[in-house]
A and B are shown apart, each in its own frame.
Chain A
Amino acid sequence: MEIFVAQIINAIALGSIYALLVTGFNLLVVVGGIFPFAYSHIVVLSMYMCWFAMKVTGNNLLAGILAGIVSGTIFSFLTEPIFRPLAKRQAQLGSFIVAMALALILTEVMAQKLNMGIVISIPQNLQGREALIKFGAATITAGQIATIVGSIVSFLGFFYLLYRTKQGRAFRAMGQSPFSARILGIPIVRTRIYSYLIAGLMGGISAIFLAMAIGTASSSLGDNLALKVMAVAMFAGVGNLGGGLVAALILGLAEGMVLAYLPGDWSQAIAFGMIMIIVMIKPRGLFGTMV
Chain B
Amino acid sequence: MKALKVTSSIFILILAASVLCFAGGGKKGPAPAPEEKEAVAAEDAVWVDEWVFPSSNIITGVSAYHGMLNEFGADMAIEEINKSGGIRGKPVRVRWYDEGTQDSARAVAAMSEMLDTKPLLVMGPCSDVSVRAAVPLAVEEGVYSMCTLAGYPMAREFTPWTLSFVANDRDQARAAVYKWVELVPGMKKVVHFTAPQSGTWMSIAEAENSALQDHGIAFVDIAVPYETVNYGPIVVRALGENPDGMIFTSHPEGIAKIIVELHKRGWTDNSKFLLSQAAPVPELWQIGKGYLDGSYVWMWFDPNSDNPRWQKLSKRHEESFGAPASFMMVWKGYDELFVIKKCFEDLKITGNPAKLDEERIAIKEYMNNCSFDSIFGPVKIVDGVRQNPTLIFTIENNRLGEKITVPLEIAM
Contacts and interface: CB of A to CB of B under 8 A. Distances in A.
Indicate if A touches B (C-beta under 8 A): yes
Interface of A: 3, 6-7, 9-11, 13-14, 17, 107-108, 111-112, 116-121, 124, 129-131, 134, 136-139, 141, 213-216, 218-221, 223-225, 255-257, 259-261, 263-265, 267-268
Nearest to A13: B230
B228 to A, nearest CB: 7
B229 interface: yes
Contact of B65 (A118, A138, A259): A118
Contact of A260 (B62, B229, B236): B236
A10 B65 contact: no
Contact of B265 (A17, A121, A139, A225): A139
Contacts of A7: 232-233, 236-237
Contacts of A139: 264-265
A221 B264 contact: no
Contacts of A255: 228
Nearest to A261: B237
Contacts of B287: 119, 121, 215-216
Contacts of B196: 264-265
A108 B63 CA distance: 10
B223 A256 contact: no
Given A14-B229, A107-B62, A216-B253, 10 more contacts: A10-B230, A112-B60, A116-B321, A118-B283, A130-B264, A218-B62, A257-B233, A260-B237, A264-B223, A265-B196
A45 to B, nearest CB: 14
Contact of A111 (B64, B240, B289): B64
Contacts of B227: 220, 224, 268
A121 B290 CA distance: 13
Given A119-B287, A121-B286, A3 B240 contact: yes
Contacts of B332: none
Nearest to A14: B230
Interface in B259-300: 260, 264-266, 282-283, 286-287, 289-290
A140 to B, nearest CB: 10
B234 interface: yes
Nearest to B61: A111
Contacts, number: 130
A255 B236 CA distance: 14
B68 A214 contact: no
Interface residues of B, number: 38
Contacts of B283: 118-119, 121, 216
Interface of B: 60-65, 68, 196-197, 221, 223-230, 232-234, 236-237, 239-240, 253, 257, 260, 264-266, 282-283, 286-287, 289-290, 321
15 contacts: A7-B232, A10-B232, A14-B229, A14-B233, A112-B60, A118-B65, A119-B282, A124-B290, A137-B239, A215-B287, A218-B253, A220-B227, A259-B234, A260-B237, A268-B225
Nearest to B251: A119
CB-based closest 3 A-B pairs = A117-B65, A10-B232, A121-B286
B223 A263 contact: yes
A137 B265 contact: yes
Contacts of B233: 7, 10-11, 14, 256-257, 259-260
Contacts of B236: 3, 6-7, 10, 137-138, 260
B242 to A, nearest CB: 10
A21 to B, nearest CB: 11
A263 B282 CA distance: 29
A109 B233 CA distance: 31
A267 B225 contact: yes
Contacts of B61: 108, 111
Given A121-B283, A265-B196, A214 B239 contact: no
Nearest to A9: B232
A116 B68 contact: yes
Contacts of A10: 230, 232-233, 236
A51 to B, nearest CB: 10
A218 B63 CA distance: 10
B7 to A, nearest CB: 33
A17 B257 CA distance: 17
Given A118-B65, A216-B257, A265 B230 contact: no
Contacts of A267: 225, 228
A218 B282 CA distance: 13
